[in-house]
Amino acid sequence: MKKLLFACMSLLLLAEVSAQNRFPKPDFESGYQYPDIQYLVPNETLWVAIDIILLVVLMSIVSWAVIKRQTRKPVIWVSLISVAYFGFFRSGCVCSIGSIQNVSLALVDNTYVLPISVFLFFILPILFAFLFGRVFCAGVCPFGALQELVNLKNYRLPKALASVLGMIPWIYLIFAVLYAITRSSFIICRFDPFIGIFRLGGDIGLIIFGVLLLIAAIFTGRPFCRFICPYGALLSLFSRVSIWKVELTKTPCINCELCHNACPVDAIKPPYDNKVKEKRLQGVKRIVNYFLILPLMVVAGAFLMRSASSSLSRVNKDVRLYDMVIQQEANPQDILSLELEAFYGQGGVVEELTEKQEQIQADFRFYSTIGGALIGFVIGMTLISLSVKRTHKVYEIDHADCVACGKCFSYCPQNQKQ
């Protein structure tokens, strides 16, 4: 026992002597100066370069697979790589979906410096969509790839319900841009349902939402991509007019319906023959009615959003601070919130805050009016699309909705013959 106690005392004494030798550092009379200690930090620039190169390479592989070879296997491998690298290794950031907000803010704010990497993540998938369709959605996007990998069944939703849900990405896109250009919030990043899964932690509510989306993706194809993703809505515009389009088969279609049943996102339109031929005058009248209804919906949307701009602006932190300051000035409280303590502690001036709040409110009135008009246009065009049917004899791909997953290729008996 005495030996053990002596050993402990010796160790404590040695530690004290060592500490005295380490701190403080000796002060040499010769003027010697200690060199700065350099710590090795990760080269983020290198990783960003790898991100961009891999993004282009993976989209090129998918383009080659679905346009040239009409095969799905490379898309599966790309999906696995994307989920592993862009998803779990890079934690789902920077993503092309969230880059919408950065680009929008850069367009209206000259003081905001848009990183070149963020711009490339935004523009490159759009460029590929214009050339080859939504190949980014096929498996390069980790969000879409994760849903694709868990998909087992393809229960088809009613067309009317799918069309109504299909308006959500456009409305989400409009609100995301609105809050970005008013410097209020990046809501796409704030409410990302998959980022918590990729980072293995975060807001429990969003994680649960992401898990529910994955469960839904087992039974119906890509619910997030079809009914939530704002970037997918943007890509659909360019995919609709893409130069090289995905084809079901390079041989004549035999209308077997197998591709239609296999498509996880219901992007293959069945044949439709207008058996009841309408008169030309009836068609003209219907089109005229559409042109009358659409402007009314645009005006109504603009009016409603402008009326709600004051409430919408309260997402902005300066507007919320203004409300708290005015309430404090009218009814002083002894206990202040952290925001009020920071405002008064930094010598904030109510007049300056009022001027800033009025400018933000003016911005919200202007941009909300435009956003409301666009929402009205989206709703009007959706209603019109539900009532317009174009005659076609064989199964055709709706390139705006097609995510270039290639699942239909192997089901086509014409492709199997080849």
Window from 2-6, 100-104, 305-309 with minimum mean pLDDT? 2-6
Q: Quote the pLDDT of residue 414.
A: 84
- Counting residues of the chain whose pLDDT is more than 70, the rounded percentage is 86
4 has pLDDT over 50: no
The b-or-e profile of 259-292 (16+ CB within 10 A means b, else e) is bbebbbbbbbbeeeeeeeeeeeeeeeeeeeeeee
What percent of the chain is predicted at pLDDT more than 90? 63
pLDDT at site 36? 54
In tens, the pLDDT along 228-271 reads 999 999 999 999 999 999 999 888 888 888 998 889 999 998 88
Is the model more confident about 394 or about 289? 394
* pLDDT of the residue at 204: 94
Q: For residue 183, with 0-12 CB atoms within 10 Å meaning exposed, 13-18 middle and 19 or more buried, which class applies? A: middle
CA distances from 94 to 48, 121, 141, 269 (A): 9, 8, 11, 35
Q: 240 and 399 in contact (C-beta within 8 Å)?
A: yes
pTM of the full predicted structure?
Answer: 0.85
- For the chain, what are the domain ranges? 46-273+395-417, 280-331+343-387
